[in-house]
Structure 1
Amino acid sequence: MPGGGGGPADRPGGRGGARSWPVGAPRPLVVRGWAPPASPYGPGHRGVDLAAPPGTPVRAAAAGRVTFAGRVAGRGVLVISLTDTGDPPLRTTYEPVRPLVDKGAEVTAGQVVATVDTGPSHCAAGCLHWGLLRGTRYLNPLSLLPPRILRRPPSRLLPVFGVPLP
């Protein structure tokens, strides 16, 4: 399972109930992975980009309360503080989106909370940027998902024909 950062306080673990991918079924393509910066203001990628064209429904990855639903720098952003994840609570972020829920709304894991919006995006075919924070520290959002969801099917080797034996 991809790491979520330092010690146990940074690992979302088994608390907080059900967890799910915010887009795609059964598993979206991860266009760009998490690459934490070396310093708070350094270069890096503070989340993961999941392939999702505009109009794709976005689901809450876990249960919580919407703490922000609006625009930041011209992009639609949704932030959900997750239930039973410690103090300060974990927060998931989704962008660019068109929120379908208001600030203060309680949401459940898997509930449609937004749609991927058109607008500025660093993914040519469209994507959802999914982030995770505890306080001001960014964590790997893939650490929210249980290992059974993250597993890929086993690789299958195909026979190779026409290669001479050594």
Structure 2
Amino acid sequence: MRTRRRQQPVRAALALLLGLLLILLTCTAHANDSPPPVPGVPPPSVPAIAHTWPVGSHPLVLRGWEPPATVYGRGHRGVDLATPAGAEVRAVAAGRVSFAGRVAGRGVVAVELSGTDLRTTYEPVTASAKKGDEVTAGQVVGTVEITGSHCATTCVHWGLLRGETYLDPLALLPPWLLSRGPSRLLPVL
């Protein structure tokens, strides 16, 4: 009986040491893992390289990005930005126009962003830029068409792709460009 009582503290100490060792090994194994995503901060795979919004200075987002569960699944593969018909559409970052034409009756402009494997798309747009044109951030690539939008009001659909994978185009915008200004407390009604 005495031997058992002496062994219990030793076993407890060994269990504690094994637990601490397991925690240490787990922490070391995950030391190089990426940190969890922070809301409002773009993931590292999409650099915040945009210098401007495609339309206006801070347009209303009518519908946000909703990634599909599968390649052909339902979702919204970009963001819809409220803007009047005829408004100028600008390249958000420097790049080369890879497409300027019509797809399914809508005008589309696509820009491959310099120094990345990303491309942005804008529709419905009457292109003023041509395929192969080098564009700078903020340069006009077209104007918003009156018809062809899938929004209830006139809008431009802004997309972002890496290869054939759709990404959230808002991730291109640095936090200062996403912000509408300082936070303000409103009265409770």
TM-score (norm: length of structure 1): 0.84
Question: Is the aligned partner of 1:90 residue 2:121?
Answer: no
Q: Which has the higher contact order (CA 8 A, sep 6+)?
A: 1
Q: Does 1:66 align with 2:97?
A: yes
Give the alignment's Cα RMSD to 1 decimal. Answer: 1.7
Question: For each residue in 1:122-143, what CA deviation from the matched residue of structure 2 results, as whole angstroms up to 9, or x when unmatched?
Answer: 2122000000000000000001
Distance 1:28-1:116 versus aligned 2 partners, 3 A rule? same
1: distance between equivalents of 2:187 and 2:163? 51
Structure 1 unmatched runs, 5+: 162-166
Deviation at 1:118, TM superposition (A): 1.7
- State the secondary structure of the residue aligned to 1:149: helix
Question: Structure 1, residues 91-122: CA drift from partner, whole Å, max 9, x if none?
Answer: 00000000001000000000111100122212
For the residue of structure 2 that corresponds to 1:119, the secondary structure is: coil
Hey, what's the Cα distance between the residues in 2 that align with 1:133 and 1:106? 19
Q: Which residue of 2 aligns with 1:23?
A: 55
Q: Which amino acid aligns with 2:99?
A: F
Given candidates 34, 38, 46, the residue that maps to 1:11 is 46
1:152 Cα deviation after fit:
2.6
Question: Does the 8 Å CA contact 1:2/1:142 hold for their aligned counterparts?
Answer: no
Dislocated runs of 4+, deviation >2 Å: 1-4, 152-161
Residues 91 and 140, structure 2, Cα contact 8 Å, conserved in 1: yes
Are residue 75 (structure 1) and residue 106 (structure 2) matched? yes
How big is the shift at 1:11? 1.7
Asked if residue 121 in structure 1 is aligned to residue 149 in structure 2, the reply is: yes
User: Hey, what's the Cα distance between the residues in 2 that align with 1:140 and 1:160?
Assistant: 33
Matched position secondary structure for 2:177: helix
CA drift at 1:158: 4.1
CA distance change for structure 1 residues 154 and 42 in 2, over 3 Å: closer, same or farther? same
Contact 1:2 1:140 in 2 (8 A): no
Alpha-carbon spacing, 1:42–1:159, altered in 2? closer, same or farther (3 Å): closer
Question: More helix per residue: 1 or 2?
Answer: 2
Counterpart CA distance in 2 for 1:141 and 1:159 is 33
Task: After TM superposition, give the deviation of residue 160 of structure 1 in Å.
Answer: 5.7
- Partners of 1:13 and 1:47 lie apart in 2 by 16
Determine if contact 1:90/1:134 at 8 Å carries over to the other structure.
Answer: yes
Indicate the residue corresponding to 1:164 in structure 2: none
Rg larger for: 2
Give the whole-Å Cα distance in 2 for the aligned partners of 1:160 and 1:147.
Answer: 28
